[in-house]
A and B are shown apart, each in its own frame.
Chain A
Amino acid sequence: MENNNNHYSIETKDLSIHYGRFTAVRNVNLKVEKQKITAIIGPSGCGKSTLLRAFNRMNDFVSGSSVTGEIFLHGRNLYSKHVDPVEVRRKIGMVFQKPNPFPKSIYENIAWGARINGFKGKVDELVENSLRSAALWDEVKDKLQESAYALSGGQQQRLCIARAIAVQPEIILMDEPASALDPISTLRVEELLQELKKNYTILIVTHNMQQAARASDFTAMMMIDDQRAGGVIEFDDTKKIFTRPTDKRTEDYVTGRFG
């Protein structure tokens, strides 16, 4: 590995992801900066979510899926035989498009995951700190024992973020985390991202171009090639991608003329 482990959280090297014989993502070489927000954008079906899921080995659950090339977390190949995927998922948390709290109390949503991950400290503190980090504490501190389902969609999503950070991951993956939320909740989640990046590296897949432009530091633009395999066609500073992209296809996509 190059001598830049302090700078990047994740690096991929010629990463390709296959479903059976079909290659869904081809030859991705991406360096994800530590404690920054990296957005992955691109038209539907370009492999954004597939790529995101590869980072915490979620594709392992899809039968017939396989990976070639490498993904390094601080220089360690995530797909090496000696790596436990459960351990990977503890270090690299994920938040999904639709809030998916457990059918349990607000408190248990956070405590449970931590406990089964072997958390030995003070659970009350962990719950409070996680909820505070997810900017939810003030809204729920008086009803921690109520069902998570009693919360609004935006609150549920922040609860899922709190749950993800309770196990103290290094990286948080987000797949369209705000697409099911109203505009105010969306902005709240985006504000939260800015807070979270002080401690975590965040990778976010979004169809919302304004969101990528507002919330991210770096943007990876993906597009499929003529064999329908997705790839990163341009990666740059978000400011550059949205004001003067280099690739004509990125230009067409961010200006709404393709996709």
Chain B
Amino acid sequence: MTRKTFENEIQQVKDDVLLLGSLVEHAIIGSVEALKKRDLKAAEKIIAEDVAINKKRFEIENQLMILIATQQPMAHDLRLLASTMEIISELERMGDYAKGIANINIRMGEDTLLKPLIDIPRMAQKGADMLHRALTAFVNEDVELANSIPAEDDEVDALYNQIYRELMVFIIEDPKNIERANWLLWVSHNLERVADRVTNICERTIFIATGEMREIKDSDDEFWHAQKK
């Protein structure tokens, strides 16, 4: 091992990605928690904290750029740095979904929730949990783990479908429900996207470890296939 400095810097980047990931997990769970309690203060806090997520992402991006410019990474190192660039952008977008949920909460204002939130927090919990393990797989370059996580997206999609149908029933029953149903549909859509992006992180992790670039699961289309049936 003749590149101690570079190794240490790579480790630092991985640590930073974990930190960014934990901020995002926190934001996802927190935004749904705030919605469940209709806590507007907490929602505002989530929005404010998204600034820190974006800042951290740019910090890591800058660090990656410096490593690429100064260390001339090749092979595994190159795959790692280039893929980490992708992964932090996925994380930032997940943070935006949480922020979006917080925004919906604020825009709902005095409106009450159309129904008590049961499945939506489940989706959030599941998504955050998948994210947590995906990042564990990333830092350890654990191909087996990275390969196993995307299948769990089916559970998230199933919850999303269930929520979708429930909300449609509310709308059909009374068009006055449209707006409040729409808020929740929007929230669940954001959460469904979180799980899809976890899949992307898993794909990158496998690429880093093996050099093989392939789509594990075309999760974007699944919801629409389910609707057709």
Interface residues of A (CB under 8 A from B): 209-210, 213, 241-245, 250-251, 254-258
Contact = CB atoms under 8 A, between A and B. Distances in A.
> Across chains A and B, which 3 residue pairs bring their CB atoms closest together, nearest first?
A244-B211, A254-B74, A255-B77
B2 A258 contact: yes
Contacts, number: 39
Contact of A242 (B2, B3, B74, B212): B74
B68 interface: no
Contacts of A210: 72
A257 B75 CA distance: 12
B72 A209 contact: yes
B210 to A, nearest CB: 8
Interface string B200-217: 000000000011100000
B226 interface: no
A244 B76 CA distance: 7
A243 B78 contact: yes
A25 B211 CA distance: 30
B93 interface: no
A257 B73 CA distance: 11
B118 interface: no
Nearest to A244: B211
Contacts of B76: 251, 255
Contacts of A209: 72, 74
B212 to A, nearest CB: 8
B2 A256 contact: yes
Nearest to B213: A244
Most buried by B among A213, A254, A255, A257: A255
A219 to B, nearest CB: 11
B73 A255 contact: yes
A245 B77 CA distance: 12
A223 to B, nearest CB: 15
Given A210-B72, A244-B79, A251-B76, A257 B211 contact: no
Most buried by B among A213, A245, A250, A256: A256
B11 to A, nearest CB: 15
Interface in B52-91: 72-79
